[in-house]
């Protein structure tokens, strides 16, 4: 398990779990159906606005600003979790 | 233009008879005339922007939403610290368009003070008439005592004294939910 040197209690797994809950709430799908390799834009009912709203909630959850290039370059839950982790550990 | 549901918070600037802040003055005919109320997360303002603030047909110009966020965050810092807050950086995330004449709300909350005690971050979120998050902003502010910036603000001595006292009063009226802001050393601002 990868752990942030800046926030030792935050791991990629923690971020993935939090992100899964946010995605499930925003896209109105069961959390059990969301996996690290789930492509957010491919989830039924998802659209670009809902995905962006998910990103906004993640930014609020971790008090971070994600770069648009990274946000739009990430597709899956796992990829977004990695972006969040990198931001937390390098900011 | 604004209709906060809770009692309106009195801003220090109101002691100036003719202040023209584009965001919050009631004396600027071109301004937004925002008013603020206490909110569990900080302060809130309600606004409805008409076609005079349009971008694409029927859509509110995004720059104006930046003004609303900046104004709400900045005044929150002023109200909590009694210091003048200058915006040093600001990021907007636009999620979906706001329609003209749609009543929206903006809620601002404080972030953590910077390590030098002078810089403070804040966050603002705009919700549309259905309560859906449509824009979010984060910003940093330089907090300075009014006396420090006195020479950069065009006021006569009498108005400057009134504003100085009003800012001090703002600092001494924290709410139960929001005690006075402390810097990283635990010292009240």
Which chain A positions have a beta carbon within 8 Å of B136's beta carbon? 56, 59-60
Nearest to B142 by CA among B176, B109, B117: B117
User: What is the distance between the alpha carbons of residues A81 and A12, in angstroms, rounded to a whole number?
Assistant: 6
Q: Does A49 touch chain B (CB under 8 A)?
A: yes
What confidence score (pLDDT) does residue B188 get? 41
User: Is B47 within 8 Å of B61 (Cβ atoms)?
Assistant: no
Cα separation of B169 and B166, whole Å?
5
φ, ψ dihedrals at B9, nearest 5°: -75, 135
- With contact defined as beta carbons under 8 Å apart, do B13 and B19 qualify? yes
Q: B119: Cβ–Cβ under 8 A, 6 or more apart, which residues?
A: B88, B113, B140, B141, B142, B143
CATH code at A34?
Answer: 1.10.1200.10
Instruction: Indicate if the pLDDT at residue A27 is higher than 60.
Output: yes
Q: Which residue of B has its CA nearest to A52?
A: B95
Confidence of residue A82 (pLDDT cuts 50, 70, 90): very high
pLDDT over 50 (residue A28):
yes
Q: In a structure prediction context, what are the per-residue pLDDT tens digits for chain B, which is 189 residues long?
A: 555 567 888 899 988 888 899 999 999 999 999 999 999 999 999 999 999 999 999 999 999 999 999 999 999 999 999 999 999 999 999 999 999 999 999 999 998 776 667 889 999 999 999 999 999 999 999 988 888 888 778 888 888 888 988 988 887 555 555 555 654 433 343
Q: Is residue A7 part of a domain?
A: no
Determine the 3-state secondary structure of B111 from DSSP. Answer: strand
Tell whether A53 lies on the interface with B, counting CB pairs under 8 A.
yes
Q: Is position A3 within any domain?
A: no
DSSP symbol at B178 = S
Look at residue A2 and tell me if it is in a domain.
Answer: no
Scanning the structure block, which residue is given the tokens 């005919």? B29
Structure tokens, B156: 């006569």
Q: Which residues in A lie closer than 8 A to residue B96 (C-beta atoms)?
A: 49
> Hey, are the CB atoms on A56 and B93 less than 8 Å from each other?
yes
Write the ipTM: 0.71
Cβ–Cβ under 8 Å, residues B168 and B79: no
Contact B96 A57 (CB under 8 A): no
Model-level pTM?
A: 0.82
Residue B179 DSSP code: P
Check if the beta carbon of residue B54 is closer than 8 Å to that of residue B60: yes
Phi first, then psi, for residue B133 (nearest 5°) are -65, 120
Residues B61/B32, Cβ–Cβ less than 8 Å: no
Q: How many domains does the structure of chain A reveal?
A: 1
Q: Tell me, what's the pLDDT at B176?
A: 56
Which residues in chain A are contacts of B125 at CB distance < 8 A?
60
Domain span at residue A61 reads: 12-90
Residue A61 has pLDDT above 50, yes or no: yes
pLDDT at B117: 72
In a domain, residue A6? The reply is: no
Mean predicted confidence (pLDDT) in A73-86: 93
Domains and CATH numbers, chain B: 12-171 (3.10.129.10)
């Amino acid at each position: 398990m990868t752990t942030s040197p800046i926030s030792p209690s935050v791991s990629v797994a923690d971020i993935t779990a939090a992100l899964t809950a946010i995605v499930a709430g925003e896209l109105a799908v069961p959390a059990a159906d969301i996996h690290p390799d789930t492509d957010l834009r491919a989830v039924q009912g998802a659209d670009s606005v809902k995905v962006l709203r998910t990103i906004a909630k993640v930014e609020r959850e971790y008090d971070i600003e994600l770069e648009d290039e990274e946000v739009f370059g990430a597709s899956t839950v796992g990829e977004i979790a990695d972006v969040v982790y990198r931001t937390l550990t390098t900011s | 233009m604004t209709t906060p549901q809770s009692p309106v918070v009195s801003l220090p600037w109101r002691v100036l008879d003719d202040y023209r802040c584009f965001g919050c003055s009631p004396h600027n005919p071109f301004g937004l005339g925002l008013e603020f109320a206490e909110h569990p997360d900080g302060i809130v303002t309600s606004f409805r922007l008409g076609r005079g603030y349009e971008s694409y047909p029927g859509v509110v110009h995004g720059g104006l939403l930046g003004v609303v966020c900046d104004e709400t965050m900045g005044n929150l810092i002023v109200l909590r610290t009694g210091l003048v807050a200058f915006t040093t950086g600001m990021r907007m995330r636009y999620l979906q368009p706001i329609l003209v004449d749609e009543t929206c709300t903006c809620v601002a909350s404080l972030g953590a003070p910077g390590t030098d005690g002078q810089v403070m971050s804040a966050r603002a979120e705009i919700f549309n008439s259905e309560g859906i998050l449509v824009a979010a902003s984060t910003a940093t502010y330089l907090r300075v005592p009014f006396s420090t910036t006195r020479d950069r603000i065009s006021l006569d001595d009498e108005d400057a004294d009134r504003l100085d006292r009003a800012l001090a009063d703002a600092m001494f009226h924290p709410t139960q939910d929001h005690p006075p802001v402390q810097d990283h050393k635990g010292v009240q601002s």
